[in-house]
Amino acid sequence: MFLDARILALILHIPHTDIYVFEHKKWTEVEGFHPNQILSILYPNDPNVHPNMSLTTNRLSVDHRLLHHLIVHQILPTGGGYAKLSRMQVFIMWCILSKIEFCFPLLILKTMVRAFSQKKSVLPYGSLLTLVFLHYHIPLEGEISTKLKKEDTYNKSTLNRMGWKKEQGTWIYHPRADLLPKSNRVSGNSRSSLGKSGRRQELAEPL
Residue type, 64: H
Give every CB contact of residue 195 below 8 A, 6+ residues apart in sequence.
none
pLDDT bin (cut points 50, 70, 90) of residue 151 is low
Virtual torsion, Cα 50, 27, 104, 77, nearest 10 deg: -80
Partner residues linked to 166 by β-bridges? 171
Give tens-digit pLDDT for 17-29. 878 888 888 999 9
Q: Is the confidence at residue 200, as pLDDT, over 50?
A: no
Sequence-ordered alpha helix ranges (H) in 17-57: 35-42
Looking at residue 206, its pLDDT comes to: 43
Region of 12 (left: φ > 0; alpha: ψ -120 to 50; beta: rest) is alpha
Element (H, E) at 107: helix 104-117
Partner residues linked to 100 by β-bridges? none
Q: Quick check: pTM over 0.95? A: no
% pLDDT > 90, the chain: 43
Measure the CA–CA gap between 127 and 9, rounded to whole angstroms.
Answer: 15
Virtual torsion, Cα 57, 70, 40, 50, nearest 10 deg: 60
Beta carbons of 201 and 62 less than 8 angstroms apart: yes
